[in-house]
Structure 1
Amino acid sequence: MTVNDDIVPLRGTGDLRFAIIVDPQLASGLLANTVATIAIGLGARHHGAGNVRMTDSNGVTIFNSADRPVPILQADAAALASLLEKAHAPSTDHSVVAFPAFARSLHSFEEYESVFPERRLMTEKLDGIGLCGPSKWVRSLTGSLKLLR
């Protein structure tokens, strides 16, 4: 896999905020998988928030994980459904990544992509949601949520 050197890292600049909200009732392995999967979706959409090549004094080169905080918040199933309802409006300045619980029973992305159009996301149980957009928008949706502990 090659790195797209045309991507301009944001390096913490700009009014862009992330939040990942998960159901705290998930088992720890499912919780970790949900957060990781949502983070990959957000990172793919907003790849300028990462992709900074960094080399240490010994010559070890890595890519940064993120250029700003990514709080992991908690919300129960009802709150996740409400959050999706408020956040889902199409926009060019924000993104929503959802992890519906039914996705766990599928064994390939092709299968997920195939059955997704037949589902109604607003009525599905959600394991988590990722948000990225202007700080005011993200805070308006997540300001009352607690950090996952």
Structure 2
Amino acid sequence: MQSMQNVDTASPATPERCVIVVDNQLPAGRAANAAAVLALTVGHRHPALVGLPLVDASGVEHPGLIPIGIAVLAADQATLSGIRGKGAAAGCDIVDFPVQGQQTTDYSAFRDAVAQVATADLQYVGVALIGARKPIGKIVANLGLLK
């Protein structure tokens, strides 16, 4: 499913850091789905994060990957909402994935479900923060990697 996005893109022109935080209670497949959905939208919103193509010893070109890396961290749902709020307050670009996205395979139904919930009441399966290194580091400092 697609993710919902914060329309405020007050992040630096070339982001210094990108993290994805996923609900630590999700089964492995749903956690991987959440991280993939968020990463796809991050790449679309920040094409400068895609590095130059990789060329192997045979001269074959492979698509460029993100040179700054993406930490995939874990947190509970209450913490995810807090991370989203702190990221917005710090001026990060935010890509969030409300829980409704994993309850249907119909994007229109997903949009309709999200439209029924106020921002303050949304729960998330994952949140991505993109922006300056220092504020993002402070927000996610106590989180561990997704396992």
- Give a deviation string over 1:17-55, Cα, whole Å, max 9, x none: 011101111001001000111111111111111152222
Whether the 8 Å contact between 1:100 and 1:121 is mirrored in structure 2 is no
Q: Which residue of 2 aligns with 1:5?
A: none
In structure 2, do the counterparts of structure 1 residues 75 and 114 end up closer, same or farther at CA, with 3 Å as the change threshold?
A: same
Give the CA deviation at 1:143: 1.1
Whether the 8 Å contact between 2:100 and 2:113 is mirrored in structure 1 is no
Q: Which residue of 1 aligns with 2:98?
A: 100
Q: Which residue of 2 aligns with 1:18?
A: 18
Alignment of 1:121 with 2:119, yes or no, is yes
Query: What secondary structure does 2:25 align onto?
Result: coil
Larger radius of gyration: 1
Q: Which residue of 1 aligns with 2:63?
A: 63
Whether the 8 Å contact between 1:54 and 1:61 is mirrored in structure 2 is yes
Instruction: Provide the rounded CA distance (Å) in 1 between the counterparts of 2:29 and 2:99.
Output: 14
2:23 alignment partner AA? D
List, as ranges, runs of 4+ consecutive aligned residues in structure 1 with deviation greater than 4 Å: none
Whether the 8 Å contact between 1:42 and 1:95 is mirrored in structure 2 is no
Whether the 8 Å contact between 1:19 and 1:131 is mirrored in structure 2 is yes
Give the CA deviation at 1:114: 4.5
Instruction: Provide the rounded CA distance (Å) in 2 between the counterparts of 1:110 and 1:51.
Output: 33
Whether the 8 Å contact between 2:15 and 2:49 is mirrored in structure 1 is no
* Stretches of structure 1 lacking an aligned partner (at least 5 in a row): 1-13
Instruction: Provide the rounded CA distance (Å) in 2 between the counterparts of 1:115 and 1:65.
Output: 34
- Give a deviation string over 1:103-125, Cα, whole Å, max 9, x none: 12233334434543432233122
Give the CA deviation at 1:15: 5.7
Q: Which residue of 2 aligns with 1:133?
A: 131
2:61 alignment partner AA? T
Alignment of 1:49 with 2:49, yes or no, is yes
- Pairwise CA RMSD: 2.1
May I ask how many residue pairs the two structures share in their alignment? Answer: 134
Q: TM-score, structure 1 length as denominator?
A: 0.79
Instruction: Provide the rounded CA distance (Å) in 2 between the counterparts of 1:33 and 1:63.
Output: 21
Identity of matched residues, %? 25
Query: What secondary structure does 1:88 align onto?
Result: helix
Q: Which residue of 1 aligns with 2:38?
A: 38
Instruction: Provide the rounded CA distance (Å) in 1 between the counterparts of 2:87 and 2:105.
Output: 28
